[in-house]
């Protein structure tokens, strides 16, 4: 398993495919294995796809110290340095989208294009999740990893999608549970999301930007994507019907169509 040392920790990563580099940044408390495998396989046919475990997850180190979105962004840039990649297309989902914003604002020369998935600018300008969603997100203590993962489906997918795609979701579960995120690291991730305050800097983003989400997101409401698309100069907005926070899976085919067309117009 490939690792690189960045910022005093070992970061686990994978490379798949050939072409212009596409860095995928996963969200809160989840390892890189949580990326939809079919999505990654499809994108690797046209791009060099880089996935990695954020600190605290997967096979990366898990120091029990305060984390921040700026720290995660520094890890991502250091990974690009270690891989000798001056620039990459960057796609972050949820907390990963927060990290991607930080990258585009503070390391603009490293971001060839920016894709922000089901994310938020944070702070007082963001549209908060419903209280019941936040309670479900925080209230996983006492559950087994399998129980927590299955409960997490309810925040990402509709009841109908879970019912009709349960076999696919169950088949993906062992990948996600192979290296469970410790409770302390999950809490460090959650605390890190509270450090994002980039609303006033969104207008400084110069990378071509695509903002994408599911219309029915109950965790980070789609209104946040509308805010991001409004504030980032020239940003394009794609909101997918019949999909929520897990839109990369639930709206995989329409997302791939939009994403491929967007990336075809960009170049490292």
Q: Under a CB-based contact definition with an 8 Å cutoff, are residues 207 and 111 in contact?
A: yes
Question: Which segments of 199-241 does DSSP mark as H helices, in order?
Answer: 223-231
Please tell me the distance from the alpha carbon of residue 246 to that of residue 117, in angstroms, as a whole number. Answer: 10
Tokens linked to 99: 């990290």
* Strand (E) or helix (H) holding 105: helix 95-106
Region of poorest pLDDT, from 10-14, 124-128, 134-138: 134-138
Q: What are phi and psi of 115, to 5 degrees?
A: -120, 120
Please tell me the distance from the alpha carbon of residue 156 to that of residue 88, in angstroms, as a whole number. Answer: 27
Q: What is the pLDDT of residue 160?
A: 96
* Strand (E) or helix (H) holding 113: strand 111-117
Q: What is the pLDDT of residues 69-126, one digit of tens each?
A: 999 999 999 999 999 999 999 999 999 999 999 999 999 999 999 999 999 999 899 9
Q: What is the pLDDT of residues 197-211, one digit of tens each?
A: 899 999 999 999 999
Average pLDDT, the chain: 95
Q: What is the pLDDT of residue 61?
A: 98
Collapsing DSSP states into helix, strand and coil, what is residue 169? helix
Q: What is the pLDDT of residues 40-57, one digit of tens each?
A: 999 999 999 999 999 999
Q: Per-residue confidence at 148, pLDDT binned at 50, 70, 90? A: confident
Q: Under a CB-based contact definition with an 8 Å cutoff, are residues 59 and 3 in contact?
A: yes
Q: Under a CB-based contact definition with an 8 Å cutoff, are residues 198 and 103 in contact?
A: no
Q: What is the mean pLDDT of residues 160-171?
A: 95
Q: What is the mean pLDDT of residues 32-40?
A: 97
Please tell me the distance from the alpha carbon of residue 214 to that of residue 119, in angstroms, as a whole number. Answer: 11
Question: Which residue bears the tokens 């910022």?
Answer: 7
Report which of residues 138 and 106 the model is more confident about: 106
Assign domain 3-264 to its CATH superfamily.
Alpha/Beta hydrolase fold, catalytic domain (3.40.50.1820)
Please tell me the distance from the alpha carbon of residue 98 to that of residue 215, in angstroms, as a whole number. Answer: 19
């Amino acid at each position: 398993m490939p690792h690189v040392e960045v910022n005093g920790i070992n970061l686990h990563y994978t490379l798949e495919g050939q072409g212009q580099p596409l860095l995928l940044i996963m969200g809160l408390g989840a390892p890189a294995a949580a990326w939809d495998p079919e999505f990654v396989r499809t994108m690797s046919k046209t791009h060099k796809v880089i996935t990695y475990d954020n600190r605290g997850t997967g096979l990366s180190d898990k120091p029990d110290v305060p984390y921040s979105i700026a720290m995660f962004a520094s890890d991502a840039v250091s990974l690009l340095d270690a891989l000798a990649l001056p620039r990459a297309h960057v796609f972050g989902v949820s907390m990963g989208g927060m990290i991607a914003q930080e990258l585009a604002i503070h390391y603009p020369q490293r971001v060839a294009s920016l894709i922000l998935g089901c994310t938020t600018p944070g702070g007082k300008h963001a549209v908060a999740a419903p209280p019941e969603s936040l309670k479900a997100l925080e209230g996983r203590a006492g559950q087994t990893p399998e129980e927590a993962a299955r409960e997490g489906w309810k925040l990402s997918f509709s009841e109908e999608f879970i019912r009709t795609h349960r076999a696919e979701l169950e088949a993906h579960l062992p990948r996600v549970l192979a290296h469970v995120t410790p409770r302390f690291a999950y809490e460090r991730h959650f605390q890190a999301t509270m450090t994002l305050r980039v609303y006033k800097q969104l207008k400084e983003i110069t990378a071509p930007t695509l903002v994408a989400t599911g219309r029915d997101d109950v965790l980070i409401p789609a209104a946040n994507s509308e805010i991001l698309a409004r504030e980032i100069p020239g940003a394009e907005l794609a909101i997918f019907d019949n999909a929520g926070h897990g839109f990369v899976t639930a709206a995989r085919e329409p997302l791939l169509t939009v994403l491929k067309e967007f990336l075809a117009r960009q170049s490292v």
